[in-house]
C-alpha cells in the first residue's frame, strides 16, 4: 500500500508540473509512406521499404490495425537478375501475421459478405512471391507494432543465391525526442570542425580528452559519467539497437506525461517513456534509447550526443548509460520525481556491450579513460543525488554493416588501461 501511495503521489506531481505547459505534437495523417521509403541495392536486386503509421494503415486497410497491435511494412523488390527471388516474411518478424489471420481479427459481428470482402482486400494487399526475373513486385507484410522507428530486415533467397538488407525505418506518429533535435539534419557541425581519426592512438587520446560527465543546463554541475562511445550511424549502429529491442523515447509533452501517470498507477508497460534532459556540448541529448521491463520504473537507458569526431569516416556519438531500478520523490527536478539508478553504472555499460555482441554488427570494442575510478566505499553523485560507483572507463563500440560473429569481434584501444594489474576483457566469446 505504501508503494502504491508513493507512486500515486509521484504521478500526480508529474502531471501537475508538466501537463499545463506541454504542447501536443502534430500528427501525420497523410498517405505518403512511399515518399519516405528507404532504398537499398545489392547486385541486380533492389529493395524499397517503408513502415506505415497507425493512421496510414487504417487508410490503406480500412480498419484500425494498430488497435490489434498490427503494423504493415511496405516492401518493393526490383529483380534485375536471372532467377526468381522469394521474400522470407519471418525475417521481418518471426511472429508476422498472414493476411487471412489479420483479417479474421476484424470479422466478429460482420456479415459473411463483409468477411469475404475484407479477407480479399487483405490478401490483395499482401506481398506475393516469387519476384520473377526482370519483374518488380510490391506489397505489405503484417508485423507486430513498433512506434518511433522499426528495424526492417529483408531476406531474399533464390536458387543458389541470397540477398540480405537491413534498414532502420522511421515510423510517423510517435513524437520521439530526436525529431526535435538537429542531429539527423545536415550542418550540425561545420565541415571544418569535424576531425576524422584514422589511427587508434589519436582516437583514444581525443576520447580521453572529453569532459568527464554530463552537466545541468547551465553547465555548472557535473552529473552522470560519460561512459559510452558509439561509432556508427543509420546503417549499422542504430539498426543494431533496434534489432536487440531498444526503443526511442517520447518527447515530454502532455500526452506522454499522462501515459507515464497511467503506467505508474496501473503498473503497465510504457516502453517509450521520456527521459530527462542532460547536457553535453552545450545542448541536451540528441538521441535517447531505452530497453524497458514491464513497468515504467525499470529500464536500461542511454543518452547520446553526436560529436565533431569521426573514426575512419564513421560518426562518433558520446553517451551516458545507466539502469533505472525504481522511482522516488525529489526536490532536484521540476517534476518533483526522478528515477533511481543502479549505483553500479558499470553494470549497465557491460550489459549493453554484451547485448550488442548479439546484434551481429558489432565489429570491435575497447576501453578508454573517462571519469576516473570511484569505489563503492566512496561513490560520486549524479544531479539528483543518486550515488554511483565505477571503474571510471568509457566503453567504445564500433559497428559495421557486415555481419560479425561472436568470435570475430575485435578488442581494440585500451592502451594504458590495464597496466596496473587489471585484466583485459579480451575477445568476446560465446
Mean pLDDT of the chain: 81
Contact, 169 vs 50, CB < 8 A? yes
Which band of pLDDT confidence, cut at 50, 70 and 90, is reported for residue 2?
very low
User: Does pLDDT of 201 surpass 90?
Assistant: yes
Q: Tell whether pTM > 0.85.
A: no
Q: State what percent of residues in the chain have pLDDT above 90.
A: 52
- pLDDT average, residue stretch 109-124: 86
Distance CA 6, CA 350 (A): 31
Query: Can you name the residues that pair with 222 across neighbouring β-strands?
Result: 215
Does residue 41 carry a pLDDT above 90?
yes
pLDDT at 323 over 90: no
Q: Is the pLDDT of residue 191 over 60?
A: yes
pLDDT (mean) for 325-345: 58
Residues 155-166: tens digit of each pLDDT: 999 999 999 898
pLDDT at residue 113 in the model: 83
What is the per-residue pLDDT across 388-426, written as a single tens digit (0 to 9) for each?
999 999 999 999 988 899 999 999 988 777 654 344 444
What is the greatest pairwise CA distance in the chain? 77
Quote the pLDDT of residue 226.
97
Residue that wins the pLDDT comparison between 268 and 276: 276
In the block, residue with C-alpha cell 571503474:
391
| pLDDT > 50? residue 25 | no
Q: Scanning the structure block, which residue is given the C-alpha cell 549497465?
A: 348
pLDDT at 427 over 90: no
pLDDT at 241 over 90: no
User: What letters, b where the CB count within 10 A reaches 16 and e where it falls short, cover 149-180?
Assistant: bbbbbbbbbbeeeebebbbbbbbbbbbbbbbe
Domains of the chain (ranges; CATH) run 33-171 (2.60.40.10), 177-413 (no CATH)
CA distances 166 to 1, 16, 148, 346, Å, are 47, 43, 17, 30
Instruction: Kindly write down the DSSP assignment for every residue of 180-217, as one continuous string.
Output: GSSTTSTTSS-GGG-EEE-SHHHHHHHHHTS-SEEE-T
Amino acid at each position: 500500500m505504501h508503494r502504491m501511495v508513493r507512486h500515486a503521489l509521484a504521478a500526480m506531481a508529474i502531471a501537475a508540473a508538466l501537463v499545463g505547459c506541454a504542447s501536443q505534437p502534430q500528427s501525420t495523417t497523410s498517405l505518403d509512406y512511399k515518399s519516405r521509403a528507404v532504398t537499398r541495392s545489392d547486385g541486380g536486386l533492389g529493395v524499397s521499404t517503408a513502415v506505415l503509421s497507425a493512421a496510414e494503415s487504417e487508410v490503406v486497410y480500412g480498419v484500425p490495425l494498430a488497435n490489434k497491435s498490427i503494423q504493415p511494412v511496405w516492401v518493393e523488390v526490383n529483380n534485375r537478375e536471372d532467377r526468381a527471388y522469394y521474400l522470407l516474411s519471418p525475417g521481418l518478424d518471426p511472429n508476422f501475421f498472414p493476411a487471412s489471420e489479420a483479417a479474421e481479427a476484424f470479422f466478429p459481428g460482420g456479415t459473411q459478405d463483409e468477411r469475404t470482402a475484407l479477407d480479399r482486400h487483405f490478401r490483395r494487399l499482401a506481398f506475393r512471391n516469387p519476384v520473377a526475373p526482370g519483374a518488380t513486385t510490391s506489397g505489405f507484410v503484417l508485423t507486430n507494432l513498433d512506434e518511433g522507428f522499426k528495424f526492417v530486415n529483408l531476406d531474399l533467397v533464390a536458387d543458389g543465391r541470397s540477398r540480405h538488407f537491413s534498414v532502420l525505418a522511421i515510423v510517423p506518429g510517435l513524437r520521439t525526442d530526436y525529431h526535435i533535435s538537429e542531429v539527423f539534419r545536415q550542418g550540425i557541425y561545420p565541415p571544418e570542425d569535424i576531425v576524422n581519426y584514422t589511427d587508434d592512438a589519436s582516437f583514444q587520446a581525443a576520447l580521453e580528452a572529453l569532459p568527464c560527465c554530463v552537466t545541468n543546463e547551465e553547465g555548472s554541475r557535473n552529473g552522470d559519467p560519460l561512459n559510452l562511445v558509439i561509432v556508427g550511424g543509420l546503417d549499422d549502429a542504430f539498426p543494431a539497437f533496434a534489432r536487440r529491442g531498444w526503443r526511442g523515447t517520447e518527447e515530454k509533452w502532455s500526452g506522454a506525461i499522462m501515459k507515464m501517470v497511467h503506467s505508474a498507477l496501473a503498473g503497465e508497460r510504457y516502453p517509450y517513456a521520456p527521459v530527462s534532459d542532460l547536457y553535453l556540448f552545450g545542448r541536451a541529448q540528441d538521441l535517447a534509447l531505452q530497453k524497458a521491463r514491464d513497468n515504467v520504473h525499470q529500464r536500461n537507458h542511454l543518452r547520446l550526443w553526436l560529436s565533431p569526431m569521426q573514426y575512419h569516416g564513421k560518426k562518433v556519438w558520446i553517451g551516458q548509460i545507466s539502469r533505472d531500478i525504481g522511482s522516488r520523490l525529489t526536490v532536484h527536478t521540476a517534476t518533483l520525481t526522478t528515477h533511481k539508478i543502479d549505483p553500479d553504472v558499470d553494470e549497465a555499460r557491460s550489459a549493453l556491450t554484451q547485448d550488442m555482441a548479439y546484434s551481429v554488427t558489432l565489429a570491435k570494442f575497447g576501453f578508454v579513460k573517462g571519469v576516473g575510478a570511484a569505489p563503492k566505499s566512496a561513490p560520486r553523485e549524479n544531479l539528483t543525488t543518486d550515488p554511483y560507483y565505477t571503474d571510471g572507463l568509457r566503453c567504445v563500440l564500433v559497428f559495421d554493416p557486415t555481419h560479425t560473429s561472436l568470435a570475430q569481434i575485435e578488442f581494440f584501444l585500451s592502451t594504458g588501461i590495464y597496466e596496473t594489474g587489471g585484466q583485459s576483457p579480451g575477445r568476446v566469446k560465446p
